[in-house]
Amino acid sequence: MAAAQPEAQPSSFWQVLEEQVLEEHPDVPRDQLLPWEAWERKHRKRSCDEATTSEPGAGSNGGGGSIAEPFWDALEASLRAEHPHLAREELLPWLKLPRQRRQPAAAAPSAAAPPPPDDTDNGGDSDYEAIGSEEDEAFVAGSSDSTRAGTQPRAAIVPLPDTSGNRWASRNKHKWQCQSTTTKTAPATNLFLADELDKLAAHYKAVGNDEWRYFAFSKQAKKLRDLTWEVTDAKQLLSVRSFGQKSVDKIAELLATGALRRLETMQSTDRAQALAELTKVHGVGCKIASDWYAKGITSVEAAVQSGLMTATQRVGARFYKDLQVRIPRAEVTAIVDAVRVALRATLGARGVPAHAIDGAGDATASGSYRRGKPSSGDVDVLLCRRDGGSDEGLIEQILEYMKAAGVSVHHLTHEEEVQRGRAQRSVRTATCSSYRGIIRLPGYELHRRLDLKLYPPEDFAYALLYFTGSDHFNRSMRHYAKTLGYSLSDHGIVHAVKMAGGKDNCVRGTKNLFEARTEQEIFEKLGLQYVEPSQRNTDVVPIGDAPRRLQ
């Protein structure tokens, strides 16, 4: 590209990233927060001239504070082709990107959100029962939000009517899990029991291929974490909805002996162990693992050698060990920021002038990070282009940018061979584009799962609600909407009418019934109380220790 105006030194990808990360985690030691600094120093020493063909993922960060030269050349050339008449500064506006903070949307992971009041126990009875708060409490409008909001006031939101026959659901809102608030701390005994039930659930899902037992057990596990009182006698749970006699028996055994005979037996079989191992690979579920096992494959290594893997599975297998390790919050921040910086550069590359980049799109950390958790299993970033420009190919371009800046990137979806195979289905058919991949920032030890989802602005609030989770929370809220006669998804709320007879009993509308600008508005439209992201969790901190025999 050639270095025009060297003194107006553009802030490089890494410089921008560094500023953002430091700002967000003033408390974490610098070298821990910015491991790529060492990497950068090393690469700066090596001259910038060996920087040509980089094997994927090993791009070199040329000196001089800009990203790898080939990237710039290619980028400028392609831009030039698109906009032959633009002046260079117009073409590459990010060169003089102001060092401002980006979107408000990223703020408010709200780990610090005030805990809700509360409150009374309840022996609870209901599906998805809650520990819940007053139904009638006034809806607080200006509560700190996270969704990026219209600022204009809008007319009062009239909740959708409950079209069900008996109206049980809407009269018992507080009994739904999506209206509960997560218990922050819970008796260690309950957490022990919950962990055991989760193991049982995991077994039924991965080995038993029994989705519904999985659902039942993991729901019970979540409820145990939410209980405010300690389970001392399994029979206490009979009064809690979703615990039946069989589960109570299991819990009685756990309380008495500290283990479940049945679980141990089930887990000890060769088949169970093999499936547990094989299903760790991304793209391998119970069915495929079973097929492989039937062919004598009992390890990931053997599966790789068998030649039976798809492209996605091969990538998954390559990194499956790294991916078992949780990601500290500060590293999640760094990865999200990297995506955000790349997004801004990409928008710049598409002709958005520097002063408009802030409003032209955003990258919002979602998932467990937004729920305030100290570590995450993967990194979820919600993308949105807001200036009316095309977002076609945006994800691919962001990833290319990061690659060129030296980030190691491996695709699970959008794999090149895959894309070629499916001929130009270039126009995406769905209204949401959904990427899964594996990345590693330079200087970091481990590869991490990255999920990107790109939505049109009108879907943003619904998408954020979905992508923030948790799993149980989403299912509960959607189930609630369904009970009222609607269907809630990451795109909106539509009518869902139960038809008599037929197996496929539900007829769904296509027209979104409500254009929500914020998450709050969605809750309100469904007649529910707003729940902060940090209160949509499943995990809990123990109070004290479980009795010794249970550890």
Partner DNA sequence: GGGCTGTACTG
Partner DNA sequence: CAGTACA
Partner DNA sequence: GCCC
Cβ atoms of residues 508 and 496 within 8 Å:
yes
Nearer to DNA, 71 or 292 (CB): 292
What is the nearest approach in angstroms of DNA to the Cβ of residue 366? 7
Binding piece for DNA, criterion CB under 7 A, among 103-111, 145-153, 236-244, 300-308: 236-244
Nearer to DNA, 108 or 357 (CB): 108
Q: Does 283 bind DNA (CB under 7 A)?
A: yes
Q: Is position 250 annotated as part of the catalytic site?
A: yes
Instruction: Tell which one of 311, 328, 386, 456 touches DNA (CB under 7 A).
Output: 311
Binding piece for DNA, criterion CB under 7 A, among 11-19, 40-48, 52-60, 239-247: 239-247
From the list 219, 250, 403, 453, the catalytic residue is: 250
Q: Site size for DNA, by CB under 7 A?
A: 74
Region class of 64: left (phi > 0), else alpha (psi between -120 and 50), else beta: left
Helix (H, G, I), strand (E, B) or coil at 486: strand
- 3-state SS of 290-322 is HHHHHCCCCCHHHHHHHCCCCHHHHHHHHHCCH
Q: Does 391 bind DNA (CB under 7 A)?
A: no
Nearer to DNA, 12 or 333 (CB): 333
At position 328, the amino acid (one-letter code) is: P
- Closest among 353, 379, 355 to 365, alpha carbons compared: 379
**How many residues does this entry show for the chain?**
551
Cβ atoms of residues 10 and 96 within 8 Å:
yes
Q: How far apart are CA 358 and CA 352, in angstroms?
A: 10
Nearer to DNA, 94 or 435 (CB): 435
Cβ atoms of residues 323 and 379 within 8 Å:
no
Instruction: Tell which one of 44, 88, 173, 241 touches DNA (CB under 7 A).
Output: 241
What is the nearest approach in angstroms of DNA to the Cβ of residue 513? 12
Q: Which residues contact 425 (CB under 8 A, 6 or more apart)?
A: none
Q: How far apart are CA 326 and CA 323, in angstroms?
A: 8
Q: Does 218 bind DNA (CB under 7 A)?
A: no
Nearer to DNA, 67 or 108 (CB): 108
What is the nearest approach in angstroms of DNA to the Cβ of residue 177? 10
Q: How far apart are CA 452 and CA 84, in angstroms?
A: 32
The most distant pair of C-alpha atoms in the chain lies apart, rounded to whole Å, by 78
Instruction: Tell which one of 246, 355, 511, 548 touches DNA (CB under 7 A).
Output: 246
Neighbour tally for 107: CB within 10 Å: 16
Q: How far apart are CA 479 and CA 254, in angstroms?
A: 31
What is the nearest approach in angstroms of DNA to the Cβ of residue 243? 6
Interactions with DNA, residue window 318-357 (CB under 7 A): none
What is the pattern of x (binds DNA, CB under 7 A) and - over residues 122-151?
-----x------------------------
Nearer to DNA, 192 or 467 (CB): 467
Q: Does 42 bind DNA (CB under 7 A)?
A: no
Q: Does 216 bind DNA (CB under 7 A)?
A: yes
What is the nearest approach in angstroms of DNA to the Cβ of residue 512? 10
What is the nearest approach in angstroms of DNA to the Cβ of residue 127? 6
Interactions with DNA, residue window 439-478 (CB under 7 A): 449, 451, 466-471, 474-475, 478
What is the pattern of x (binds DNA, CB under 7 A) and - over residues 398-437?
---------------xxx--xx-xx-----xxxxxxx-x-
Binding piece for DNA, criterion CB under 7 A, among 25-33, 56-64, 91-99, 377-385: 377-385
What is the nearest approach in angstroms of DNA to the Cβ of residue 312? 5
Q: Does 248 bind DNA (CB under 7 A)?
A: yes
Helix (H, G, I), strand (E, B) or coil at 23: helix
What is the nearest approach in angstroms of DNA to the Cβ of residue 183? 19
Q: Does 285 bind DNA (CB under 7 A)?
A: yes
What is the nearest approach in angstroms of DNA to the Cβ of residue 315? 10
Nearer to DNA, 89 or 415 (CB): 415
At position 226, the amino acid (one-letter code) is: D
What is the nearest approach in angstroms of DNA to the Cβ of residue 64? 36
Neighbour tally for 242: CB within 10 Å: 18
Q: How far apart are CA 16 and CA 337, in angstroms?
A: 9
Find residue 488's DSSP bridge partners: 493
Q: Does 39 bind DNA (CB under 7 A)?
A: no
Helix (H, G, I), strand (E, B) or coil at 179: helix
Q: How far apart are CA 71 and CA 406, in angstroms?
A: 11
Cβ atoms of residues 426 and 414 within 8 Å:
no
Secondary structure element (H or E) that encloses residue 380, with its range:
strand 379-385
Q: What is the chain's Cα-based Rg?
A: 25
Nearer to DNA, 88 or 428 (CB): 428
Q: Does 236 bind DNA (CB under 7 A)?
A: no
Q: DSSP string covering 371-425, please?
A: TT-SEESSEEEEEEE-SS---TTHHHHHHHHHHHTT-EEEESSS-HHHHHHTTT-
Interactions with DNA, residue window 59-88 (CB under 7 A): none
Nearer to DNA, 433 or 520 (CB): 433
Tracing tokens 């945006």 back to the chain, one arrives at 394
Interactions with DNA, residue window 154-213 (CB under 7 A): 212-213
What is the pattern of x (binds DNA, CB under 7 A) and - over residues 492-521?
--x-x------x-xx-x-------------
Nearer to DNA, 90 or 458 (CB): 458
Burial class (CB in 10 A: 0-12, 13-18, 19+), 462: buried
- Closest among 332, 327, 326, 434 to 106, alpha carbons compared: 332
Enzyme catalytic residues: 250
